[in-house]
Amino acid sequence: MELPVEFRKKYETLLGADSEKFFQSFDEPAVSAFRTNPLKAQLPDYSEKIPHLEWSYYGKVSGKSWEHVAGLVYSQEPAAQIVGQVAQPQPGMKVLDLAAAPGGKSTHLLSYLKNTGLLVSNEISQKRSKILVENIERFGARNVVVTNESADRLARVFPKFFDLIVLDAPCSGEGMFRKDPAAIQYWDSDYPSQCAVLQKEILESALEMLAPGGQLVYSTCTWSPEENEDVVAWLLEEYPLSLLPVEKINGMLEGIAFPETARMYPHHFKGEGQFVAKFQLDQEGKTKKIKASKSNLKPEQKQLWLDFAKKHLAVELTGTLQVFGDHLYLLPDGLPDLSKIKLARNGLHLGVFKTKRFEPSFALGLALLPREVKNRVEISQESFVDYAAGQPLAVSKELPNGWYQVVIHGNGLGFAKIVSGTLKNNFPKGLRFS
């Protein structure tokens, strides 16, 4: 790979005798990996486990496979997976993923939260936030809201609110050169310093949202000290933060000047490039009281939902019910009023109100485990191909007409209506493929 001359000079100085193996690693193929989803009912067995990482395997998954479409697997290269593992939120925590698209770190955080607590998954780009929503819905989590905002606007709504904030910051992307050679075109010797300015601006807002005693995980996919250790030094100087040690596994190295932090180089670590640091904020200070979100359902809408839930669900879903247009969402408990910020996903999409009836969403069918639904119909891998293409499926004529959760290999894959032995396909048109 043809690397910029200034880049080579920089890392010859930084790495010394180790630089030649570093440069040689750019001519090797990028490493592919994926995580399995512990929120699902049944998971297939995979062979090449990544050491010391829960749910993680080397290899590729097809975007057209039933495992991917049902949310059982998520593609994410090994170095990027370290960020979620370092963050490792405890169940019940209030968590913010501040630069979340396309969703790898958010889905990893959701794996630890186990449908408890709260995740606010934010992406400032409207286009990228739509991709984030798709990946969050496929994962099937119920305790997440996707926002589409700048960090400073979020800080007005969530002052001293979060127990844990993860910022995988916009950066110069040096660690992605091998995976995405086009990123080299954007690099010059001044680019890392320019990125560091933006990173500090975002971190200033992030610290306004961190509760006393809360934790901050800061990461980049670059090796540049200007964006990594220099930012760490700035944070420690400007805020009452202390560094927490990051466990060095699978070839991770200590950061420069800060042994608590971690660096991932592809000639030592089987993956791409990453830097990660973990901080804890002092306990001093008080959290602020917030004005909680309230339900805005009309009585007739609430009754339609309750009738559907009583007839079709074997579990009671907790949270705040809100209508946006004709669409019904379930917001996680404990959220402030979100009316002043842009939302890309207002909690779990339950479905849509039609004239005197309620129709369940594809997202609800992904989020519910089969044991939580009263009526379900299993489809085969062969039938999945037609289902994903939007085709109706023939089912037993003995099945009564009505709504069913579509199930494949013990996992939910949306809702569909059965009428006279035919499954009317409700697979979203924007997700269909053949």
Residue 74 sits in the same domain as residue 93: yes
Q: Is 369 left (phi over 0), alpha (psi -120 to 50) or beta?
A: beta
Q: Is 348 exposed, middle or buried (0-12, 13-18, 19+ CB in 10 A)?
A: buried
Quick one: 190 and 316 in the same domain? no
Q: Which two tokens stand for residue 296?
A: 């805005």
**1 or 110, which is more confident:** 110
> CA quadruple 281, 222, 171, 118: dihedral positive or negative?
negative
73 and 159 fall within a common domain: yes
Same domain assignment for residues 206 and 324: no
Q: Determine if the pTM surpasses 0.85.
A: yes
Residue 356 has pLDDT above 80, yes or no: yes
Last-in-domain residue among 319, 337, 369: 369
pLDDT of residue 291: 79
43 pLDDT band, cuts 50/70/90, is confident
CATH code (residue 30):
3.40.50.150
The CATH code of the domain that includes 423 is 2.30.130.60
Work out the burial of residue 227: count CB atoms within 10 Å of its CB; fewer than 13 is exposed, 13-18 middle, 19 or more buried.
buried
Q: Is 221 a catalytic residue?
A: yes
At 346, give phi and psi (nearest 5°): -90, 50
**Domain end point (choices 281, 297, 314):** 281
311 and 194 in a common domain: no
What is the model's pLDDT at position 7? 97
CB 336 within 8 A of CB 145: no
19, 74: one domain: yes
Same domain flag for 22 and 84: yes
Amino acid making up residue 376? R
Q: Are residues 365 and 379 in the same domain?
A: no
pLDDT band at 284 (very low <50, low <70, confident <90, very high): confident
Model confidence at 286: pLDDT above 80: no
> What pLDDT is stored for residue 47 in this prediction?
87
- pLDDT tens digits, residue range 193-252? 999 999 999 999 999 999 999 999 999 999 999 999 999 999 999 999 999 999 999 999
For the chain, give the mean pLDDT.
96
Q: How confident is the model at residue 174 (pLDDT cuts 50, 70, 90)?
A: very high
Domain containing 428 equals 375-434
- For residues 75 and 108, the answer to whether their CB atoms sit within 8 Å is no
* The pLDDT value given to residue 293: 86
* Catalytic residue, candidates 33, 133, 221, 341: 221
- Specify whether 134 is located in the same domain as 26: yes
Instruction: Tell me how many domains the chain contains.
Output: 3
Q: Which amino acid belongs to residue 356?
A: K
Claim to verify: residue 300 and residue 321 sit in the same structural domain = yes
329 & 264 share domain = no
- Assess whether 85 and 170 both reside in one domain: yes
The answer to whether 34 and 111 are in contact (CB under 8 A) is no
- Contact 222/175 with Cβ under 8 angstroms? yes
Per residue in 46-76, pLDDT (tens digit) is 989 999 999 999 999 999 999 999 999 999 9
What's phi and psi for 236, nearest 5 deg?
-70, -30
Which tokens sit at 303?
Answer: 């009754």
Query: Shortest CA distance to 162 belongs to which of 207, 110, 219, 116?
Result: 207
Q: Exposure pattern of 324-341 as b/e (b: 16+ CB <10 Å)? A: eeeebbbbbebbbebeeb
From 369, 392, 423, the end of a domain falls on 369
329: domain CATH number is: 3.10.450
